[in-house]
Structure 1
Amino acid sequence: MFTGQHIRLAGSQTEKGALVATPGMPLHAAMVGFLAGMGLATIPVYKKPSIQLMQSGEELVTPGKPLNFGQIYESNSYTIQAALREAHFDVSALPTLPDHFETIRDSISAGLDTHDVLLIMGGISVGDHDHVYRALQENGVETLFYKVKQRPGKPFYAGTRGSKLVFALPGNPASTLTCFYTYVLPALQLLSGQREDFPEGRMLTASEAFVKKVPLTLLLKGIYAEGEVRILGGQESYKMDAFAQANCIVEVPESQEKVEAGSHVRVYPFRYKPIN
Structure 2
Amino acid sequence: MLDFDTAQNRLVQAGTRPEIAERVTVDQARGRILANNVSAAINIPPADNSAMDGYAIRFADFQEGISYPIQQRVYAGDLPQAIQPGQAIRLFTGSLIPEGADTIVIQEDCTETDGKLHINVAPVQGQHVRFTGEDMPAGKAILLKGTVIGSGQIAILASQGVTEIDVFPVPKIGILTTGNELAEPGQPLHAGQIYNSNASMLASLVKQLGSNVVRIVHAADTLEEIQDAISSLAEECDLVLTVGGVSVGDKDLVKPAIEASGGDMEMWRVRMKPGKPVALARLKGTPIVGLPGNPVSAYAVFTLMVSPLIRTMQGRTEVLPPLSYGRLDSQQDYQGDREEFLRVKAKSMPDGVLGLTPHAQQGSSIISSLAWASGLARIPADTKIAGGSTVAYYDFNLWGY
| TM value normalised by structure 2 | 0.63
Kindly name which structure, 1 or 2, has the bigger radius of gyration based on alpha carbons. Answer: 2
Structure with bigger strand share is 2
Give distance in 1, aligned partners of 2:333 and 2:152. 48
Q: Which residue of 2 aligns with 1:267?
A: 393
Q: Give, in whole Å, the separation in 1 of the partners of 2:336 and 2:132.
A: 66
Percent identical pairs in the alignment equals 26
CA gap 1:10/1:201 in 2 versus in 1, 3 angstroms? closer
The separation in 2 between residues aligned to 1:68 and 1:108, in whole angstroms, is 27
2:209 maps to which residue? 87
- What does 1:40-55 correspond to in 2, within 5 Å? 40=162, 42-55=164-177
Per the alignment, residue 196 of structure 1 pairs with 318
Q: Secondary structure at the match of 1:20?
A: strand
Pick the aligned partner of 1:150 from 243, 257, 272.
272
In the alignment, the residues of structure 1 paired with residue 243 and residue 260 of structure 2 have an alpha-carbon distance, to the nearest angstrom, of: 18
Partner letter of residue 247 of structure 1?
A: S
Distance across 2 between alignment mates of 1:110 and 1:194 = 28
2:143 to 21, 45, 48: 21
SS at match of 1:167: strand
**Structure 2 counterparts to residues 28-107 of structure 1, below 5 A:** 28-32=150-154, 34-40=156-162, 42-107=164-229
- Report the CA distance between 1:132 and its aligned residue: 0.4
Deviates more, 1:35-44 or 1:131-140: 35-44
1:229 aligns with 2:229: no
1:247 and 2:374 matched: yes
Shift of 1:38: 3.2
Q: Deviations over 1:34-93 (max 9, x none)?
A: 335535454432222110011111110122333222111111111111222222222133
Q: Which runs of 5+ in 1 are unaligned?
A: none
The residue identity in structure 1 corresponding to 2:302 is: F
Q: Which moved more, 1:112-121 or 1:34-43?
A: 34-43
Q: State the Cα distance separating 1:197 from its structure 2 match.
A: 4.1
TM-score (norm 1): 0.89
1:235-262 per-position Cα deviation (integer Å, ceiling 9, x unaligned): 11122121220001111111213x3222
CA distance in 1, matches of 2:394, 2:328: 13
Superposition RMSD on alpha carbons, in Å?
2.5
2:361 maps to amino acid: G
Distance 1:254 1:273, change over 3 A: closer
Residue from 314, 328, 333 that aligns with 1:211: 333
- Letter paired with 2:254: V
**Worse-matched range after superposition: 196-205 or 244-253:** 196-205
Whether the 8 Å CA contact 1:86–1:273 is kept in 2: the answer is: no
Greater mean alpha carbon deviation, residues 9-18 or residues 227-236: 9-18
Deviations 1:140-193 (A, max 9, x none): 333231101111111011223465221110101111111110111121112212
